[in-house]
Chain A
Amino acid sequence: MNEQHTGHEHTGWQAEMKVLLREPPLLISITVLFLLFGLFIIYPFIKILMVPDAEHWMRALTAKEFLEVFSHTLFSSLVATTTAIIFGFIFAYAVNYTNMPGKRFFQIVALLPTMAPSVVTGLAFIMLFGRRGFITWHVLHLQTDLYGPVGLWVAQTIAFFPLAYITISGVLKSISPNLELAAQNLGARGWYLFRTVTLRLATPGLASAFLLVGINSLADFGNPMLVGGNYHVLATEAYTQVTGAWDLPMGAVLSVFLVIPTLLVFFVQRYYLEKNSYVTVTGKPVAGLIRVTAGPVATWCFFAFCAVLCAAILMIIGVVFLFAFTVAFGADYTFTLQYFREGVVQSKVLLHSWSASMITAATTTILGIALAFLTIRKHFPGRTVMDFLAMLPVSLPGTFIGLALILAFNEAPLELTGTMAIIILGMTLRQLPVGYRQAVAGLKQIDASMEQASANLGANSFTTFRSIILPMLKNSLSVSFVYAFMRSMNTLSTVIFLVSPEWNLASINIMSLADQGFLPTASATAVGMMLTIYLTFGIVKLILRDKINIFDL
């Protein structure tokens, strides 16, 4: 961290410790946070490593079935990530670099899938292209079977395209338009300009986006479960081992293997890509200058591409709605509310999902700001460890977190299995990095001199925090609240091991209903979920009266 931000001139942990001992409240909160981290992050992860014995590890590394699962996982996520990134890049480029009509519409449609669990893509895929799929069976009269790698590839590409688009759009926006203007000024244009400037500047960001999407598709659980068929990947295999074969240690081994690549990605990103980013050395963009670099022909090609992609997304959302509100879509088109009643009104799952996600969002937001304040503004021994632990869960697949938690907390004194608490705990762990990263980004934008000014005018640390920092962070806090809420609502892999018959969640219910063939009810639940997310956004927006716009990316 930056030395000059704190105004302290002490260095070395002994000096830092001395400062800390003079501020008991600070010392206490740091200690409490470390204890929480120890109990809820470090302990479960040690536990999950201790449960399997040598024989399990050997079997996972030698048995043919598991080796096949490894290669499936790597292969399927690699191809899906590649296509999702290519689609996302073209889309983001079209939105940021052309004058094509309907940009706003495209932007909104592209983000629609993020408001629903990624498994909805799989659900729609079954309904459209499955054995009795609307298009394959009813329209084309084909007897195809797209379950397996191809189906998984298509479903995951669509499911992870929005994430790729959001990330890459952020990367493109961070490129100073001045650089492209300078290149144009020197005579460069079209493909040459793109190749020598835009693409080169975006490369580190693209690599980051690739890794991010890669982690997500690697750890994806719902789509492989629904459309993967017999094509097993690590996440689904771990689940099958635990729930089908009752082989908990084997499940643990597999989920640990799932962590290895994601941890690797985490380290690459943290210690290599961020240091090699060009974004920080470019000047501030000039207001009012809109970069338009694509010619008319290219613009219409981009338009066609975006239109096709958006049509696919709308078809997915549309088919979910149609299945939810007709008696038997494809055969009987009579309107009905029966499924909606079954899946939403009479079911408690949505309420469970909503309350767990709200609690998670509040917790991670508050925890995130507290952690960020400590790591950015205070010097204390173990600061980098705290920063590392707060970011670590971002690289941990949900199945791993879930499994680690049930292994760690299934006996007294901390018997949490089968409770709402363990669900919230899992969600909170998973979302903590989101809240933390937002708060860090927000805090870094607030100059430390403002806090010093407040202190100089006689305010103590607490007053400064409440009256200066919190109001200035309002926007980034509401963003992290909303994202944590949305992602908790939609998560499947984190909670798959944590739910119980008593405390079931909507995302899980959609998947199991779809898996058992109750497609209309699954669709109705998905519709209910999307509506719940939209409504909650609306309410949060009204309460906070902020200007954040989730579609404004």
Chain B
Amino acid sequence: MRNECYGIAVLVLLVVPALLPVSGGVGLAAQTADSATAEGQADTASATPAGIPDDLRDPETRSQALARILEVAESREGPVRTLWVQGLAVAEKTSPEIGARAVEALLRAEAGDIEAAAWALAEWPGPDEMKGDDRAALLALAARLLDGVDPEGGAQLRERLLAAHPAAPEAVETRLRLARYLAARESDEDRSRALALVEDLIVDTPDHPLAPEARRFLAQLRRGV
């Protein structure tokens, strides 16, 4: 029930801005560069959030593209803002192409095609020299997109992330979320697995910001809650 409510909220929050006039979004329209473009200038591909991926790919416009991602994020609210900040993080720390793919997924999700965007992102092979951490970032973003609409799919992606990139920065949260998903299932095996995941998290990273939440969750699991 909880996840469904969340998914609906994400969907609404993603869809509504997509239906709005192309600009920086709710509340920050007058403050974004895009709004200046939308007011009077010719609408070019690079002047819309949709143009951000291409700008990311172009070395000359990459910096501006990153700034625009930030503007988009600030124009969003709630979980959507967090998603866009996550997208900004992916664009910052990965190659231009990977960052562009991530933003494309976000835009596609905002347009309503969340599952397709998430799976396209997760299944994208990427360049041969793609680093493991970059792949993990994409998987984490894809899994987050699926949280609201396809929890099982999100869990699958998280399993893949942990299997392929157990040391990635996203791995700690991935364990916790996967553990929550597994714990919500009725299977004892899943519960045991969830317990193991949370215990491993606490043992391996006791000082992690999510460790307090993990300890609390572990206590709940042990109580059988």
- A-B complex is real: no
| Interface positions of A (Cβ within 8 A of B) | none
| Interface positions of B (Cβ within 8 A of A) | none
